[in-house]
Chain A
Amino acid sequence: MQPNRITKDEYGQSIDRTKLLTFTFDGQKLTGFAGDTVASALLANNVHLIARSIKYHRPRGILSCGVEEPTALIECARPGHKAFPNHKATEVMLSEGLIVKSQNNWPSRNFDAIAALSFGSRLLQAGFYYKTFKWPLWGWPKLYEKVIRKFAGSGRIRFDESADPNESVAMDQRNKFCQILIIGGGPAGLNAALECALQGLRVVIIEQDSEFGGSLLWNKASIDRMSTDSWLANTLDALHQCSNLTMLPNTLAFGHYDHGMLLAYQSFGLDEPGVLWKIRAERILLASGAIERPLVFSNNDRPGIMLASAVRAYLHRYAVRPGHRAVLAITDEKQRQATELELADAGITIAATVNPGEQLIDSTGHRRIRSVAIKTKEGKIVHHSCDLVCVSGGWTPTVHLAAHVHGALELNPDSYTPYAPSQQGCMLAMGANRGIFELEAVLADSENQAKEAMSQIGISVKLGKSVEFQSIQESLEFRISNDRCGSAFVDLQNDVTCSDLIQAVSEGYSDIELLKRYTLTGMGTDQGKTSWVNAVNEIAAVSESPATQLRHTSFRPPYSPVLFAGLAGARTGKFMTPVRKTPLHRVLENLGCVFQHSGDWLYARHFPKQNETMEESVNREVNAVRTSVGFVDMSTLGKFEVKGPGAELFVSRLYCNDVSQMPLGKVRYGLMLREDGIIFDDGTVARLGDEHYLLTATTANADAVWRWITRLAQIQWPNLEVTLTDVSEQWATIAIAGPKSRALLSKFDLSVNTDRLNFPFGTIREGTLPGNQKCRIYAVSYSGEMCFEVNIPAGFGCSFVERLMDVGQEFGITPYGIEALDVLRIEKGHLAVGSEIDGRTTPYDLGLGKMVAKDKDFIGQTLLNRSGLKSEERLQLVGLTAINEKFEIPAGGVVVEQPLSEKSQQRLSGWLTAAVYSPTLKIWVALALLKNGQNRQDDKLWVTSPIAGQSTQVEVCHPCFFDTEGTRLHG
């Protein structure tokens, strides 16, 4: 049933033979066991050809047994669900009914028509696209891109017939805190975890594999005269008893950031959403081990050529025999001997072993390795038939995470193998990450580094003697074959060959970062795990410069691919961002409001009646405000209380206009500048008491203004006796605007005298509503009509509006939204943040120069007086009206001197900040920033929008179109 499965019980510690699982691969029904990965199950079923390579579509099999797998990329799906590509077969755990498909082939993986590309491989070398598809000019968008898109990429998201195309999976994102975080559950990590956990520290250990043990799961040696199996079992037992220790299997640490923060993604297979962990630790111990390097020789990519450690892992962990007749090409003698013994024990015939001085130079076979050619010391070529080649060119420490934050790695001058420094920031490396590979030394080093980490966070431990750096001597001559006659791949995932590197160097790409991008070496999901050291050695050999001078490229997160869904976590759909609702939300909803998202807020946009378009409802709302009375929800405004003996001086310094010596109950418009003299925000300043002011800020800038004023109080003016409180959320604000607003307000039993004499424009009154509830009422206006902004405690907002609608019925009260408010303010020429206050304009630009106080200090005063900010050539606020009343002024248009024809080019004179049809004036009006605008009254210009394909002739006028005397404000 599974022809390559070993039946002996001593093999297969990771699988449960009592749980048989069925799955399909390219439609073929196969079986495996619980605990199998897809890779081990395929090998057990004697399936070696897994996918086709990305560029040449060459047959590719399984190289490794873990995260470093560069070639066995597959598409996986649960029945009835979407299929996702680019899973590594070595990482996906087998589950019942799993649907697995090979990638990158057409029509099938066995007969891939696109593999014909490999015949032209000499033409398709590095830089082929850049050199070939640059002419003719029309060729790229119309032809090349379309054709190349069909072949490019690696896998596609597919839908099973029964899959829901709208299916979405919300992943999870959680935080974890610990004193010691250990990355890697091999011997070094486990030993360090035990050391720290026994001291009572909060420890987290993460392991990307489904099982803890690392190399001990396949490297059957001894520790302290104890078998590695026993040592592992005892250590895990001890760890499981530590309640202060968290063990996270199946967890990939993929990003290391400042101050001990690490991102890790924990997978629960395809059936359950994964968790992205944000782990913050006082110290991080890096025990991520090392990755075995393949050998570079001609045709070194055939299915059946595998890393030696991977073959041993498949034997011991999964009871899978990946071949029956093997050739061994392993640099390290001890490892070679151990592999020979273990393969023989498992019943695999050793066809040949490549000894020091000999070279593996070529292979034959198509969908699987058939034979290899070995060059002997004497220079003789000997061929050996085989179905498995175990290769090992040495070990590359997994140092990506060590390089994410600080970048600097140490390099072995002989082999260019990068090592992590003993400590960088709060990360301490240990074992193989520091170049220590002998098991006993690894354990001693992990103990020392764990104690060092603990002592650094204040735990009293006796430090041991540090373990000396033990670099393995690696023979370059043995690792890379000099006799290459076919494609010798240095990067199996990106199909980068030695020839590509040679060509790139010959074309002058000597910088390692450029070389990487030109050839694609170390890119993609591989991220150089199996390719980088071999590539750099090849480059060094070709460029005849020492590998250490080449440095290394920047390592960046993620170390290995992470699902986008994992990065989003639960922030999907309606939970994408928090939603803020005003205190009036419920009652506005009942009134038929259409809401609009802006930032986090849900604004009342407009209130359409039956069958009304937005334009119709906005015009109706505007007319109601101009002729009768309306109300709008202004609760989103920022509101800040300033109290204390220093309040007056604080407020005076904050605004550029004079707000000092205001009588109690007075409100003034306030203009806040940045330090560079540019307008930051506008709002109102109200004096509620001798040492008590209430400021308002625009909704868009509310948070920024709050941060700014608290910064000023705490840092700039710490000696001013003021306290600041953000009361934005405390008050619901209902602006009642229109000629009948005062009459309507008088219908409420307010403790405030609302007649014109006692409550004129530009004042604020505190009082009570029936029920003795506090209220604050401003007589200010944004719409240009007489207006009262009623502030009441937020919880009463809805019932107040319900009452307002009842009482206002006799006046024809109309709720209006932000769209109508915008029309009203444009008619009146009032400013808006983001439109006229755009981070570039000064008070002079906006016609507010007279407001700027001459005899006081305020923020922005010095830099506002720069001559450049007073130049007449600056853009200045003007009004524009369409000369032909029937013509629309296109929103977003630019202002030019002459109509813009198709081929003419003109200098820009300005641009529109707002344009609307005025239902009051029955014409199109616009606000614009125009060069020297204040001196161009009555000039005739053009507003053009190439996007809308419109040009309209306009006349320059004052930006206030309506009630220029301001009589309506006073009622």
Chain B
Amino acid sequence: MAEFLNVEKAVKDTSFDQDGRTILIDENQKFVVQGQFRSPQKLDEFCQSILPKTMEVGGVVILDDTAYLRFSPYAIYVVSDRMMLDDFAKEYQNNFTDLSHGKCMLIIRGNGVFDIFLDYSAADLMNYSGAGQSMVKTRFIDYEVVLWWAANDQIQLLIDRSYAQSFVDFLSSLIVRQNLN
């Protein structure tokens, strides 16, 4: 039997071009692993071993093609173009789980996209907007998302696969309304 498995995207790519403003919503198929630790200290030790530095909660470190997102004192996402599990020391293997198919990574690009997230996110994104990358786990309307961004015209986010298309549809409707306004 020939190989038959093809990866299917969770959402359809979407773009808007209204009033001279272009906004693109693309799914970026990446490898996502979640690290879960019993104590913040253990997670600190892991960060030291890989980065090598500690990360605050809400911190983002980009190393080559890999983003490390510490979204809780106990947990971290590692988002990469390649499967990172084998790169981690054996002692951490039990802490990590592959969620590449469970989490959908979206990139939203265009002028004013940060303002949309500012208006509809339950977290105060301005509090996280410092120099460099910022991340926050929050709710966008009714959708739980992990956001990270370096500039105001590009937001990257992780969302559960099952909610992804519904989220994109809702976000699209809000973008259209903002354009109309």
Whole-angstrom distance between the Cβ of B74 and the nearest chain A Cβ: 8
Q: Is A782 an interface residue when CB atoms closer than 8 A count as contact?
A: no
B169 adjacent to A574 (CB under 8 Å): yes
Q: Is B165 an interface residue when CB atoms closer than 8 A count as contact?
A: yes
A583 adjacent to B122 (CB under 8 Å): no
B95 adjacent to A723 (CB under 8 Å): yes
- 8 Å CB contacts to A: which residues of B47-72? none
A799 adjacent to B169 (CB under 8 Å): no
Place the interface of chain A in its size category: 35 or more
Return chain B residues, CB-CB under 8 Å to A174.
119-120
Q: Hey, what's the 0/1 contact readout for B145-178 against A, CB within 8 Å counting as 1? A: 0000000000000001111011101100110010
B7 adjacent to A795 (CB under 8 Å): yes
Identity of the chain B residue whose Cβ is nearest the Cβ of A726 in the assembled complex = B102
Return chain B residues, CB-CB under 8 Å to A577.
142
Q: Is B89 an interface residue when CB atoms closer than 8 A count as contact?
A: no
Return chain A residues, CB-CB under 8 Å to B173.
570, 575
Q: Is A796 an interface residue when CB atoms closer than 8 A count as contact?
A: yes
CA distance A795 to B4 in the complex (A): 13
Known interface pairs A280-B124, A721-B38, A803-B4. Does A641 touch B163 (Cβ–Cβ under 8 Å)?
A: no
Known interface pairs A578-B142, A581-B162, A799-B4. Does A175 touch B127 (Cβ–Cβ under 8 Å)?
A: no
Known interface pairs A177-B127, A575-B173, A797-B8. Does A729 touch B1 (Cβ–Cβ under 8 Å)?
A: no
Q: Hey, what's the 0/1 contact readout for B2-27 against A, CB within 8 Å counting as 1? A: 11111111100000000000000000
Q: Hey, what's the 0/1 contact readout for A564-586 against B, CB within 8 Å counting as 1? A: 00000011001101111111001
CA distance A725 to B85 in the complex (A): 15
From B6, B122, B161, B166, A578 is in contact (CB under 8 Å) with B166
Whole-angstrom distance between the Cβ of B89 and the nearest chain A Cβ: 16
CA distance A586 to B143 in the complex (A): 22
Return chain A residues, CB-CB under 8 Å to B4.
770-771, 799-800, 802-803
Whole-angstrom distance between the Cβ of A250 and the nearest chain B Cβ: 15
A580 adjacent to B162 (CB under 8 Å): yes
A770 adjacent to B2 (CB under 8 Å): yes
CA distance A439 to B141 in the complex (A): 43
A175 adjacent to B121 (CB under 8 Å): yes
CA distance A795 to B165 in the complex (A): 14
B161 adjacent to A583 (CB under 8 Å): yes
A175 adjacent to B34 (CB under 8 Å): no
Return chain A residues, CB-CB under 8 Å to B111.
none
CA distance A893 to B144 in the complex (A): 40
From A170, A575, A728, A771, B102 is in contact (CB under 8 Å) with A728
- In this complex, which of B34, B97, B102, B142 has the most chain A Cβ atoms within 10 angstroms of its Cβ? B102
CA distance A575 to B177 in the complex (A): 14
B36 adjacent to A725 (CB under 8 Å): yes
From B124, B127, B177, A172 is in contact (CB under 8 Å) with B177
Q: Hey, what's the 0/1 contact readout for A708-748 against B, CB within 8 Å counting as 1? A: 00000000000001111101111100000000000000011
Return chain B residues, CB-CB under 8 Å to A769.
5
- 8 Å CB contacts to B: which residues of A736-786? 747-749, 769-771, 773
Known interface pairs A177-B124, A794-B102. Does A729 touch B5 (Cβ–Cβ under 8 Å)?
A: no
Whole-angstrom distance between the Cβ of B13 and the nearest chain A Cβ: 15
Known interface pairs A174-B119, A749-B1. Does A729 touch B124 (Cβ–Cβ under 8 Å)?
A: no
Known interface pairs A574-B169, A723-B38, A800-B5. Does A644 touch B94 (Cβ–Cβ under 8 Å)?
A: yes
Known interface pairs A644-B94, A727-B97, A727-B99. Does A770 touch B3 (Cβ–Cβ under 8 Å)?
A: yes
Return chain A residues, CB-CB under 8 Å to B9.
795
Return chain B residues, CB-CB under 8 Å to A273.
177
Whole-angstrom distance between the Cβ of B26 and the nearest chain A Cβ: 16
Q: Is A616 an interface residue when CB atoms closer than 8 A count as contact?
A: no
Return chain B residues, CB-CB under 8 Å to A581.
162, 165-166
Q: Is B131 an interface residue when CB atoms closer than 8 A count as contact?
A: no
Whole-angstrom distance between the Cβ of A89 and the nearest chain B Cβ: 27
Identity of the chain A residue whose Cβ is nearest the Cβ of B94 in the assembled complex = A643
B5 adjacent to A725 (CB under 8 Å): no
Known interface pairs A175-B119, A721-B38. Does A641 touch B166 (Cβ–Cβ under 8 Å)?
A: no
Identity of the chain A residue whose Cβ is nearest the Cβ of B181 in the assembled complex = A272
Return chain A residues, CB-CB under 8 Å to B124.
175, 177, 280
Q: Is B137 an interface residue when CB atoms closer than 8 A count as contact?
A: no
Q: Hey, what's the 0/1 contact readout for B30-48 against A, CB within 8 Å counting as 1? A: 0000101110000000000
Known interface pairs A177-B126, A577-B142. Does A796 touch B161 (Cβ–Cβ under 8 Å)?
A: no
Q: Is A963 an interface residue when CB atoms closer than 8 A count as contact?
A: no
Return chain A residues, CB-CB under 8 Å to B7.
795-796
Whole-angstrom distance between the Cβ of A427 and the nearest chain B Cβ: 19
Q: Is A793 an interface residue when CB atoms closer than 8 A count as contact?
A: yes
- 8 Å CB contacts to B: which residues of A675-729? 691-692, 721-725, 727-729
Whole-angstrom distance between the Cβ of A159 and the nearest chain B Cβ: 24
From A580, A723, A725, B163 is in contact (CB under 8 Å) with A580
Q: Is A426 an interface residue when CB atoms closer than 8 A count as contact?
A: no
Whole-angstrom distance between the Cβ of A39 and the nearest chain B Cβ: 28
Q: Is B28 an interface residue when CB atoms closer than 8 A count as contact?
A: no
CA distance A769 to B6 in the complex (A): 12
A731 adjacent to B101 (CB under 8 Å): yes
- In this complex, which of A578, A600, A748, A802 has the most chain B Cβ atoms within 10 angstroms of its Cβ? A578
CA distance A825 to B2 in the complex (A): 36
Return chain A residues, CB-CB under 8 Å to B166.
578-581
Return chain B residues, CB-CB under 8 Å to A175.
118-122, 124
Known interface pairs A172-B177, A578-B143, A798-B8. Does A730 touch B165 (Cβ–Cβ under 8 Å)?
A: no
B143 adjacent to A729 (CB under 8 Å): no
Return chain B residues, CB-CB under 8 Å to A367.
none
Identity of the chain B residue whose Cβ is nearest the Cβ of A730 in the assembled complex = B102
For this complex, 8 residue pairs linking A to B, each with C-beta atoms less than 8 Å apart, are: A172-B177, A579-B165, A582-B162, A729-B103, A730-B98, A730-B100, A770-B5, A794-B10
With A571-B141, A795-B29 given, can you name 12 additional A-B contacts, CB distance below 8 Å?
A172-B177, A571-B142, A578-B166, A579-B165, A583-B8, A730-B102, A747-B1, A792-B5, A793-B100, A795-B10, A796-B8, A797-B8
